[in-house]
Amino acid sequence: MNENKESVDLSLRGFIKSLLSVTGGAALLSSMPWLLSCTPEKLQELGKEKARLGLIGSGSRGQYHIHNLLAIPHADLVAICDPYAPNREAALALYPTAKGYEDYRQMLEKEQLDGVIIATPLHLHASITLDALAAGKHVFCEKAMTRTMDECKAVYEAYKQSDRALYFCMQRMYDEKYVKAMAMIHEGLIGDVVGMRCHWFRNADWRRPVPSPDLERWINWRLYKEYSGGLMTELASHQLEVCNWAIGKVPSRIAGMGDIVFWKDGREVYDSVNVIYQYADGRKINFESLISNKYNGMDEQILGSKGTMDLSRGVYYLEEDDQIPGIRQLLDQVKTGVFASIPTAGPSWRPELQSAYVPHAVMKGSTSVNSGQSMVSSDHDGSDAILSAFCQSCLTGEKAHDVVEEAYYSTLLCLLGNQAMEEGTVLDFPEAYKIPYLTF
């Protein structure tokens, strides 16, 4: 194991500490209350205490979490459960002091655990989460929340009745560049938010090698509707969450089209989707994803009346920017052959070209940018920070406010997006699944 452990989230905790020290910082941070449960002071109070954890599901994402746990000083992985022996043995090799289990129920019964980490296929999230909460464990579960809307409601209600902490891996909520960008949006940097655009493109079949035909649906669960929500639950869940985060609302209407365009290999989930989410005030999220072309990669743009925030790249652009010299704009016009008329009523030289916009960094120094191509993770994307916060909650018992609620609504929007595509109709967000969080 790693003998030189360092905290994986010093940057975010440092940001929290610095924000608390400036005028208005506490009020700003209160708009992101989940961060208040992982402040530097609370971590220091824990001293050398370690959360005793069990991992359920040790495939690629589970093993990714193990690598992060190795760098978290207040975490100790004592048990690993997976009925698929190759994955379990690979995970135990990464953390050899842990004990292996085939059945998570036996692990919950026999081990003195503070919390469990669930990294199983989506259709198992609800049952394992409910069992773990009932067993008195704190729970960290991968996104999306559950496979069905009824399961989402059941998990949410169980959480509200429990005194245990529950996290879903909405890592953008703990990614420093997203936190800072959202603070800028909420302070009015880009004006009124008027729309949102998200896309996620890859070029891969999403398949994994199968040693035996009877394991096809077990290993390639993402391709089958019984186990997976496809591109929506696997990718869109992150991006829809940040859109709701930006404006503090939930869309009220959903429409879309989905198809299997390229990967005609027996899969059941779409490989190409286009979904529009409309808020009651007319603002919209346009989401697009396909996995047979990767040119455009992954992006999330919050469009404002005064500028655009490019969340995934950690930059913003202003509609009226005094850092664009007139001569540069003129040269750009000559280069492209496009000339904008100069209005007599003002000095604006901006041509109607994206190239004229100057990118401003959200953060100083280098910023990690997720290309969206990895099936497992991206470095410094907040996954390590949210896992560290969960380990801290296992020791303090403190719930992270709003994490469950954000996961709840983003998951329901994904599931409704699939339903709208399958039925070929425009759906209204059902009243029965609304919870007292955000507005419509």
Asked if residue 297 and residue 166 are part of one domain, the reply reads no
Asked if residue 160 and residue 136 are part of one domain, the reply reads yes
Asked if residue 135 and residue 34 are part of one domain, the reply reads yes
Asked if residue 393 and residue 422 are part of one domain, the reply reads no
Asked if residue 193 and residue 271 are part of one domain, the reply reads yes
Identify the CATH number of the domain in which residue 93 sits: 3.40.50.720
Which residue in the block uniquely carries the two structure tokens 């994206």? 354
pLDDT at 40: 74
What is the domain count for the chain? 2
Q: Is residue 425 part of a domain?
A: yes
Residue 298: name the closest of 289, 286, 309, 308 by CA. 289
Look up the domain containing 354 and give its range. Answer: 187-374+404-433
pLDDT at 377: 60
Asked if residue 239 and residue 164 are part of one domain, the reply reads no
- How many CB atoms within 10 Å of residue 297? 16
Q: Is residue 178 part of a domain?
A: no
Residue 170: name the closest of 35, 306, 352 by CA. 35
pLDDT digits (tens, 9 = 90+) for 53-89: 999 999 999 999 999 999 999 999 999 999 999 999 9
Do residues 388 and 38 lie in contact, with contact meaning Cβ atoms separated by under 8 Å? yes
Report the C-alpha gap between 408 and 433 in whole angstroms. 10
pLDDT at 43: 77
Report the C-alpha gap between 440 and 140 in whole angstroms. 28
Q: How far is CA 13 from the centre of its chain?
A: 19
Q: Is residue 3 part of a domain?
A: no
What are the residue ranges in the chain where pLDDT is below 70?
Answer: 1-11, 19-28, 324-355, 366-368, 370-379
Asked if residue 295 and residue 423 are part of one domain, the reply reads yes
Q: Is residue 207 part of a domain?
A: yes
Report the C-alpha gap between 221 and 199 in whole angstroms. 23
In the chain the first and final C-alpha atoms are separated, in Å, by 48
Q: Phi/psi at 207 (nearest 5 deg)?
A: -95, 155
Token pair recorded at residue 309: 């925030």
Q: Is residue 1 part of a domain?
A: no
pLDDT at 350: 44
Q: Phi/psi at 336 (nearest 5 deg)?
A: -90, -15
- Residue 342's identity, in one-letter code, is I
Q: Is residue 4 part of a domain?
A: no
pLDDT at 325: 54
Asked if residue 363 and residue 314 are part of one domain, the reply reads yes
Q: Is residue 235 part of a domain?
A: yes
- How many CB atoms within 10 Å of residue 420? 21
- How many CB atoms within 10 Å of residue 392? 25
Asked if residue 233 and residue 163 are part of one domain, the reply reads no
Do residues 73 and 58 lie in contact, with contact meaning Cβ atoms separated by under 8 Å? no
Q: Is residue 213 part of a domain?
A: yes
3-state DSSP helix/strand/coil % of the chain, to nearest 5: 40, 20, 40
Q: How far is CA 204 from the centre of its chain?
A: 21
Identify the CATH number of the domain in which residue 416 sits: 3.30.360.10
Name the pTM for this structure: 0.89
Asked if residue 121 and residue 14 are part of one domain, the reply reads yes
Altogether, the residues listed in the chain come to a count of 440
Please give the helix or strand (H or E) that residue 194 lies within, else none: strand 193-201
Asked if residue 267 and residue 336 are part of one domain, the reply reads yes
pLDDT at 345: 40
Residue 233: name the closest of 301, 155, 167, 142 by CA. 142
Which residue in the block uniquely carries the two structure tokens 């400036």? 22
Asked if residue 282 and residue 346 are part of one domain, the reply reads yes
